[in-house]
Amino acid sequence: MKVRIDDQRCEGHGRCYGIAPQLFQPDDLGDGKVVGDGTVAPELEHSARLAVDNCPEQAIVIEGG
């Protein structure tokens, strides 16, 4: 599983890096950025899905999950 943020949709609510800081971190403006290449370790798959389900802008995409 991999996660990706659609930069066009992200408005910097920060729910993703609040819920799953191992997978997402804020940039200097508070927008979410994926850590590394976005690969999700199996034990973080639940957190990844929660980040997707809590993003108010629906800006997070899961690929191959």
Partner 1 sequence: MGLHEPVEDWTTDFDHTDDAYVADPFGIWDELRTECPVAHTERYGGAWLPTRHEDISAIAYDTERFTSRSVVMSEFRAPFELAPQGIAPPISSDPPYHKGARRLLLPAFAPQAVDQLEASTRAYCHELIDSLRGLDVVDAAEGYAQHIPVRVIANMLGVPEGDGDLFRGFVNHVLEGVDKPMEERAMGMAAIFDYLKAQIDDHVENPRDDLISYLLASEMDGAPLDHFHVGRTIALLLIAGIDTTWSAIGASLWHLAGHADDRKRLVAEPELLPTAMEEFLRAYAPVTMARLVREDIDFNGCPMKKDDFVLLPFPAANRDPEAFDRPDEVIIDREVNRHAAFGLGIHRCAGSHLARMELRVALEVWLESFPDFELADPAAVRWSGGQVRGPRTLPIRIL
Residues that bind partner 1 (CB under 8 A): 11-15, 17-18, 26-30, 50, 53-58
| Residues in the chain, total | 65
Query: What is the nearest approach in angstroms of partner 1 to the Cβ of residue 18?
Result: 7
Contacts 24+ apart (CB under 8 A), 29-33: 31/5, 31/7, 32/5, 32/59, 32/60, 33/5
Query: What is the nearest approach in angstroms of partner 1 to the Cβ of residue 7?
Result: 13
Query: What is the nearest approach in angstroms of partner 1 to the Cβ of residue 47?
Result: 10
Task: State how far the Cα of 15 lies from the Cα of 54, in Å rounded to an integer.
Answer: 7
Nearer to partner 1, 32 or 38 (CB): 32
